[in-house]
Structure 1
Amino acid sequence: MAGPSRLAPPPWLTAGLRPEPAPVPWAAVARASIALAAPLAVGFALDEPVSAALVSMGALSGVIGDTADAYRMRFYNIAVPQLFGALGVTLGSLVYGRGWLAVAVLTLVALVSGMISSIGSVASVSGLLLLLNAVVGAGLPLPAPWWKAPVLLGLGGAVVLALTLLGWPLRGGVPERTAVAGTYRAVAALFDAAGSDAYDARRRAVTTSLDRSYDLVLARRTRRHGRTPALVRLLAQLNAVIPLVEAAPAAHLAAGRLHRPVPPEIPTAVRDLAAAVEEGRTGAPALRLPEAARPSERAVDQALRYAATVVHHAEPDPYNVDDRLGRPAVLRVRVRRTARAVMMSEPSWRYGLRLALCIGLAQALVSLITVPRSYWVALTVTFVMKPDFGSVFSRAVLRAFGTAAGLVVAALLLAEVPRGWWDVPVMLVLGALIPAFSAKGYAFQTAAITPVILLLSDLLNKQGFGLVLPRLYDSLLGCAIALIAGYLLWPESWHARIGDRLADAVADTAHYVARAFGPETDGGQAVRVRARRALYRDLSAVRSEFQRALTEPPPTGALAAAWWPLVVAVERIVDATTAARVRVDHGAPPPDPSEVVSVERQLSELADGLRSSAVLVGVRAELLGDDEGVLAPLRQEVRAARAIASPHAEKA
């Protein structure tokens, strides 16, 4: 048994090759199948296969960008990137065959693409299409006149957009209501898990669901959002779940201490509220709740009754809805702020320069040596180097595996299927596989996209099976450039700053403890709620960063694995702080100020120790307080965090 284990590949290398347990998005599958195959059918009928291939390529870009849930965001996610894609293919076609001028232009486009990718999800897809289409325009002889290719590519995106928005008149607002109802159901599952080992995972699911719901609902904000009843009601219902989320840690600690689960009436009532949100029901709520005796029980009871009142109320006060972000500024102000933030952002410049370096090297290399399909090298670099898609190292490895698998399928199709009308049913099947496989992971998405691109490329240049091996060589060359110039040459890639990120989270937790039990200020409760929500969002980002680091080779992956338990411990500290605050709000004796100062000092020293990358000998102060006080669970979690951190600090 020992031999095979030594020969097995390391987990960080194979982590992305395991399919994610995600459901198949059947609606997206149908849209992709029709959007990619229908242009080919029309093109063959009109004897315009080249134009049809360009329309399908534009549709492929739309399919990749169709990732939003809300209809309004789907419109922006598809329409705005198509405009950038049209600009990119125009710039690329203007420098086609221009040698070093093409190298310079694509390098500059890569810099701009990388910098705007940091703004948000829509800008990220826009930057991707800007660079991808510029590379295609600079590498392929597109049909004249110059405006034909941008129009055809944009037409493909318009097909996807039209298919996507078919249900908007009948289902407008449904995704947002479904998301808010899903948050209530996640909270119900959280109460089901109170006192058990499953609680941590359920709490993370609540954080993810809450963030997603806020993002969807707030995406619909307008300057007159206070006069939009549907939006006001959704915001009120979403805000009403916050007290339940805050009461859950107290219920969890009480259930663990008393070895008694939360009464089933509690999660049942929360699920009833979820159904009311989803169905838009109003009227007097009918709650059957057990008697509340302890502070934690009173907190849950009060939060649940408040949520029921808000959910079943037909017309919430439009001026008593905290939308968490405030009303948006006018468009010109937001554009100016965004431009200033991008231009002054060190991460934006750092990523833009990395991407520009890799694209410049790829284009310079294919200008010096003969490569049959040179633009594939830069296309591979672009996909691998996307910062919001995951680790550069793991994406390079996964793209190599995915391309190899996709080429096997493409080779069979190019060798056995005659070109022409047979491409239509083949594209129906291949197009459907893209959304289905994309949900399973990046390697699977690459495997699904590769044969589609090869079949469309064959319609443009008619090389048949001869496309297969050049595609493999170019993909491997692009992965190598990304690994060397985009990963190994940048110390931040393999000297991960995960310790610094975790230290920042610990320091923020110390501030949260002080704020939770400090003197009351104006809007004290609201300030604490916002601080806790911001902290959970930051911890979610830290967790994502660590999960990304786990897919890196040593030493980054090893360090992430060593520090991972401390990430969990910090999340539990935040939970324990929230639980203590809730218990105090509902009748428990408040802690002595010296106890709060002691806990805050311990966490601050822990953060300083993580930043110093030394043994945590500086964490010396004793935790004051008795074992029965309201802060006893919090002190226990802080001790656990110190015990986890101390053995590993020297390695960081």
Structure 2
Amino acid sequence: MSWFAALRDTTRDGLTLDRTLTNPQRALRGAVAVALVIFPTLAIGGPGLATSAAMGAFIAGTATFQRSFRPRPTIAAAAGAGLGISTFLGYLAVGVPGAFPVLLAVWAFGAGLMWAIGPTAGVVAATTVSVMLVVVQLPVSVPAALGHGLVCALGGAVQALLIMIWPIGNWTAQREALADTYAELADYARRLRHDPIAHLDPAPFITARHAATMTSWQERRRPAEMRGLRSIAERIRPALAAIADPKVGAPAEGPERDRARDVLAAAAEAMDAVARAVRTGDPLRLPRSTPALTLVPPAGGPQLRGAARRAARRLTGLLRRAADTLDGTDEEAISTLAVDVGGRLRKPPLYRMVPVAARAVRRQLQPRSAVFQHAVRLSGVVTVAYLLARLVGFEHGYWAPLTAAMVMRPDFAQTYSRGVARLAGTVVGVALSTLVVQLLDPGEWLSAGLAVLCIGGAYLTHRTGYALTTACVSSYVVFLLGLQPGNPLATAFERVGLTLLGGGVALLAYALFPTWQSARLGERLAEWLAAAGRYNATALAVYGDPVAEGGAQEVRAALLDSREARSELTQAVQRADVEPGRDKTRLPDVSRKQLDRARASVGHLGRVGLLLEAHLPGRDAEPVPGVRDFADEVRYGTALAAGALLTGRRVEFDAVREAHTKLERQLAQLPQSDRVDVVRSATNLLLQALKDLERALRRGVGQPAGPAREREHAGS
């Protein structure tokens, strides 16, 4: 994509407005919390303290609108505490000549590193930089600085308290995540009717798993119908694939395939009904097609046989259990399935997340890390924008670094789309609010009231578009700072100019020092390949040793690793597609087209693991000889192939093929059984996927032999 096309698309995205609004009650609650802070503080402490308190309440409320499955009072309180600390330190530093730019650079660098924890932490940390810039204007004494920091934190505390007193849709996010999982399963079942090797989108499952990771407080209070349904969905997924796959399920053509299509269609309608019931909380209403799920076909109709019949029986039982769980009639299912395979998912209290967050940040402290590069870029841009504004001599010079801090993101698309939206929204917001000030000449109390009204609009349009939200926020800041003396018209022109300055510096800095996702696609592919290999190897190992402890749990853990790796690659590809002039990866001699073919091959490899998981033997089953050794070879071979992919050596699986030949000889000596058939079919599919991967990554120059040769060298 050319630079012109990339800028055109990001500009269009930044200025696009949706018709979606935030829940009006939640927007009203956030605005009420700001009002409860600003008016008493204005009456008691005056405009200065009122500004600090209002900014704290505003940012803490904004933090609760970020995507998170934690209790929102916790997020608001944590955001308020961070704002208080940043404000206090800023007030102390601004009184020491030359200290504030240093503090600003260090604080912005730390805020950039918070993206290692997650997007919510990164956004909230960036807002602390903005608040530091807005409320810190004149040097004050240490007690006064402490007072400003405390009232800023008070704003967050009031938001948290109001959320607890006035709960709105506490479980909406969890319901949406769980319902999306069943809706994706329904679409997956429909795709399997026409494409037996269709792929499942893992994103809803990843989101649902994060939603199911709850604190003890949430665990005790969550609705009964939400207990256990995610575990059932995880078991439905391989059952659907096992019915549809022609290698281990129903034949590719014929009456049995028609019967499999009927079962899949009925399952899709049943899962749509489950999704609707979870999303709305209404009673479950199963469709009339549900009887088609039974193993008894219509009179004289075809029947499913073998592995397909077992998978259909499992699917029917799981859907019945999901229906009973929603109806609250299956107490055993509720009590047993609430515990996920691999252990109960618990989200620790926020204070216990500090060591985890510290480790996540420490892992990013390396020059090649995208998060580290973003932190350096954010620190430099904010500091340069601040110094340029001071050099030009603007009175309200903080507006330029504020714009830069709110625009900068770790990837190209978000930075440029938000930059354009920020510039447009700020110009409109400042112009309109300044016009209101000129016409009405509001006093302190009316300005505070208009500020509360604007922040309510910002909360209400949080999901509508960043440009409109920015216009509301800019008006809020204008009215809030209108509590201070000054010429509104001159200030408006100054803010518009500083916004252009800060936004321009941010966009120019990203263009000169970018973090291209295209260059990291190879790393993401290698991680997914290694994870998919572990998933297959772990599932195969259960066939070789069914009585081993933790077999099913290890398979589930390997599946989650593979799913996360695939999701990270998918997100990187989506971001890379909108980057200008990026058609190559960092991998030697590997083009983007080769990388796309390799993604498809690794996707087929993940599907093999899915089929193996669908027919995992019980602990009382007889082990299949030779499978364990082959599983070890798959694990080792895919790990070496991932390393070869990154270092530019040839990717090949000669050792895996040799192990497969040995396994086939052992399987030929065994009596015919369903488990042997599943292993034989799955391993053949696995070899085909690895062969396709070799072809996709084949280079034109000679390379030393990869895994097989390296293994011999390591053994010597």
Of stretches 391-400 and 631-640 in structure 1, the one that deviates more from structure 2 is: 631-640
Return closer, same or farther for 1:472/1:71 CA change in 2, 3 Å cut-off: same
Return closer, same or farther for 1:33/1:45 CA change in 2, 3 Å cut-off: same
Q: Which of 296, 301, 307 is the equivalent residue of 2:313?
A: 301
Say whether the 8 Å CA contact 2:130–2:402 is kept in structure 1.
yes
Matching residue of 1:321: 339
Whole-Å separation in 1 of the counterparts to 2:207 and 2:4: 41
Say whether the 8 Å CA contact 1:514–1:596 is kept in structure 2.
yes
Which AA in structure 2 matches 1:24? L
Whole-Å separation in 2 of the counterparts to 1:419 and 1:192: 62
Aligned: 1:253 with 2:245:
yes
Matching residue of 1:81: 79
Whole-Å separation in 2 of the counterparts to 1:394 and 1:400: 10
Please state how far the C-alpha of 1:19 moved relative to its aligned partner: 4.0
Say whether the 8 Å CA contact 1:71–1:165 is kept in structure 2.
no
Which AA in structure 1 matches 2:394? V
Q: Which of 472, 476, 493 is the equivalent residue of 2:496?
A: 472
Please state how far the C-alpha of 1:29 moved relative to its aligned partner: 3.7
Give the secondary structure class of the aligned counterpart of 1:629: helix
Say whether the 8 Å CA contact 1:58–1:157 is kept in structure 2.
yes
Matching residue of 2:420: 400
**Gap runs ≥5 in structure 2:** 296-303, 665-676, 703-716
Please state how far the C-alpha of 1:52 moved relative to its aligned partner: 5.1
Whole-Å separation in 2 of the counterparts to 1:324 and 1:453: 48
Aligned: 1:537 with 2:541:
no
Whole-Å separation in 1 of the counterparts to 2:416 and 2:392: 22
Which AA in structure 1 matches 2:488? G
Whole-Å separation in 1 of the counterparts to 2:41 and 2:351: 42
Give the secondary structure class of the aligned counterpart of 1:371: coil
Give the secondary structure class of the aligned counterpart of 2:205: helix
Q: Which of 600, 609, 627 is the equivalent residue of 1:577?
A: 609
Which AA in structure 2 matches 1:64? T
Give the secondary structure class of the aligned counterpart of 2:100: helix
How does 1:445-456 map onto structure 2 within 5 Å?
A: 445-456=469-480
Aligned: 1:517 with 2:529:
no
How does 1:217-616 map onto structure 2 within 5 Å?
A: 217-221=212-216, 228=220, 234-254=226-246, 257-258=252-253, 260=258, 261-263=261-263, 264-274=265-275, 279=281, 288=291, 289-291=293-295, 292-306=304-318, 308-309=320-321, 311=325, 312-314=329-331, 316-317=334-335, 321-322=339-340, 324=343, 335-336=354-355, 338-339=357-358, 342-343=361-362, 345-346=364-365, 347=369, 352-387=375-410, 391-392=411-412, 394-396=414-416, 398-416=418-436, 417-420=439-442, 430-435=454-459, 437-440=461-464, 442-443=466-467, 445-483=469-507, 488-489=512-513, 493=516, 496-518=519-541, 519-520=544-545, 521-555=548-582, 562=593, 563-564=595-596, 566-567=598-599, 569-583=601-615, 607-613=642-648
Please state how far the C-alpha of 1:401 moved relative to its aligned partner: 4.0
Say whether the 8 Å CA contact 2:526–2:645 is kept in structure 1.
yes
Whole-Å separation in 2 of the counterparts to 1:475 and 1:572: 49
Please state how far the C-alpha of 1:245 moved relative to its aligned partner: 1.9
Say whether the 8 Å CA contact 2:397–2:498 is kept in structure 1.
yes
How does 1:32-51 map onto structure 2 within 5 Å?
A: 32=30, 34-35=32-33
Return closer, same or farther for 1:47/1:329 CA change in 2, 3 Å cut-off: closer
Say whether the 8 Å CA contact 1:546–1:564 is kept in structure 2.
no
Which AA in structure 2 matches 1:150? G
Whole-Å separation in 2 of the counterparts to 1:591 and 1:648: 39
Please state how far the C-alpha of 1:46 moved relative to its aligned partner: 9.4
Whole-Å separation in 1 of the counterparts to 2:385 and 2:425: 24
Whole-Å separation in 2 of the counterparts to 1:86 and 1:566: 49
Whole-Å separation in 2 of the counterparts to 1:6 and 1:353: 24
Q: Which of 676, 681, 695 is the equivalent residue of 1:629?
A: 681
Which AA in structure 1 matches 2:128? L
Which AA in structure 2 matches 1:579? L
The percentage of counterpart residues that share the same residue type is 20
Return closer, same or farther for 1:407/1:35 CA change in 2, 3 Å cut-off: farther
Q: Which of 180, 183, 190 is the equivalent residue of 2:188?
A: 190
Return closer, same or farther for 1:415/1:198 CA change in 2, 3 Å cut-off: farther
Return closer, same or farther for 1:494/1:126 CA change in 2, 3 Å cut-off: closer
Return closer, same or farther for 1:595/1:353 CA change in 2, 3 Å cut-off: same
Which AA in structure 2 matches 1:511? R
Please state how far the C-alpha of 1:555 moved relative to its aligned partner: 2.8
Matching residue of 2:14: 17
Return closer, same or farther for 1:356/1:47 CA change in 2, 3 Å cut-off: closer
Please state how far the C-alpha of 1:380 moved relative to its aligned partner: 2.4
Give the secondary structure class of the aligned counterpart of 1:194: helix
Per-residue CA deviation, residues 181-227 of structure 1 (Å, 9 max, x unaligned), is: 443343233323324579968x32xx3333333323323236x96xx
Return closer, same or farther for 1:362/1:608 CA change in 2, 3 Å cut-off: same
Which AA in structure 2 matches 1:267? A
Whole-Å separation in 2 of the counterparts to 1:338 and 1:17: 31
Whole-Å separation in 2 of the counterparts to 1:522 and 1:538: 26
Aligned: 1:26 with 2:53:
no
Which AA in structure 2 matches 1:574? G
Please state how far the C-alpha of 1:330 moved relative to its aligned partner: 8.6
RMSD value over aligned CA atoms? 4.8
Q: TM-score, normalised by structure 1?
A: 0.78
Per-residue CA deviation, residues 385-426 of structure 1 (Å, 9 max, x unaligned), is: 354xxx156414531343224313431342255242776786
Give the secondary structure class of the aligned counterpart of 2:482: helix
Q: TM-score, normalised by structure 2?
A: 0.72
Whole-Å separation in 1 of the counterparts to 2:614 and 2:266: 21
Which AA in structure 2 matches 1:290? T
Whole-Å separation in 1 of the counterparts to 2:353 and 2:418: 37
Return closer, same or farther for 1:22/1:632 CA change in 2, 3 Å cut-off: farther
